[in-house]
Every structure is written in C-alpha cells, then in structure tokens.
Amino acid sequence: MSKHLVYVGIGSNIDQEKYIRLAVQYLKASFGSQCQLRLSPVYKTEAVGFDGDDFFNLVACFLTELSPFDVEKQLKKIENQNGRRRDQEKFAARTLDIDLLLYDQDIINEKGISIPRDEIEKYAFVLSPLADLSPDLIHPQTQKNVAEMWQELSQNTEAGALEKIDFIWTPSA
C-alpha cells in the first residue's frame, strides 16, 4: 500500500498544554509509531471569532496508508476522546481542534472534506507553523511554496498576531 503525506493543524484553548500533549500522543497511537510524526513549533495566538483564552497551535505531519476520509474520521474521534463538544458554535473555546490541512497534493471537496483547508491561506496560526515545518512544500491550489505564502500573509495585519513559545513536551512532576 502506498503512503500518503498528511498535514494536520492542532489547536487548543482549554488547558492548552495538557491537550496539545494529548493530541500528539493520540496521533502517534492512532496512526502508528511508524508514522514518523514531525511537529512544528507551538504558537500562542488570540482566539479568533470570539472572546476567549489564547490558543496554542501547531502543525504536525506524518505518513499514512489511510484514505483522507478515514484520516478525517480518526481526527474527529481523537477530538471526541479529548472532550471536544460538537454542540457549540463554530467559534468557541475547545479542548482540542485537529484539522486535516493537506493530503498529498490532492484537491478534495466531497463528503464534508475540503482539502486543502482554506485556513492555510487565511490564518497566521496555520500558515506560520506549516512554513516552519515544510517551507518548500507546494500548496496544491496556489502552486506557491508555503514559505512564500507565509511571507505574503505576514505582511497582512489582519492575519493575526502569534507568538512562538518554548513548549515543554514533558510535564514536570
């Protein structure tokens, strides 16, 4: 079976450190220890679309044999296992938000999946960590590499402020 390169955005604004760590643990458990999970730096950003605590955001990438639809199902399952509530408004506080950003160079708009996610082009908290992780990655629709896209978006004051943080992956005892 062939392997597919997947990028996911991870965010939390409720007990951020705990849920970011759990997201990474669940991704490794769900997609296998052989998935070679790579992580961007973690950023702190203000909540977008509502008043709430700051979010911690990052991007992860890994290889999988699953279809994009099965990846999406697994991501929703991880969110649910970590207390994600689906009965809230779109812009609300959340324990965990994991979005499928890219699946190879595929462009998909079916069965509730839109890939590449349009948030890549809109929000600093998605594009900056993506550019940190894979600056030469070519966006399948714009045909620009994500480092160029980040350079352009970072000039836009509406893209949202973000602060790279020194995230400690192992909590102290």
Contact 162, 44 (CB under 8 A): yes
Closest CA relative to residue 60, chosen from 17, 26, 95? 26
Using one digit for the tens of pLDDT, what is the confidence trace for 48-77? 777 788 999 999 999 999 999 999 999 999
Q: Say how far apart CA 93 and CA 74 lie, in whole Å.
A: 21
Two tokens, residue 9: 């955005």
In degrees, rounded to 5, the angle at the alpha carbon of residue 130 between the alpha carbons of residues 129 and 131 is 90
**Per-domain boundaries in the chain:** 4-165
Highest mean pLDDT of the ranges 30-44, 77-91, 116-130: 116-130
Q: Does domain 4-165 have CATH number 3.40.50.300?
A: no
Counting beta carbons within 10 angstroms of the beta carbon of residue 86, is it exposed (0 to 12), middle (13 to 18) or buried (19 or more)? exposed
Crossing angle of helices 68-81/16-31, nearest 10°?
A: 140
Residue 156 above 80 pLDDT? Answer: no
Using one digit for the tens of pLDDT, what is the confidence trace for 71-121? 999 999 999 887 766 555 656 678 899 999 999 999 999 988 999 999 999
Q: What is the pLDDT of residue 105?
A: 97
Q: What is the pLDDT of residue 173?
A: 45
In degrees, rounded to 5, the angle at the alpha carbon of residue 81 between the alpha carbons of residues 17 and 133 is 50
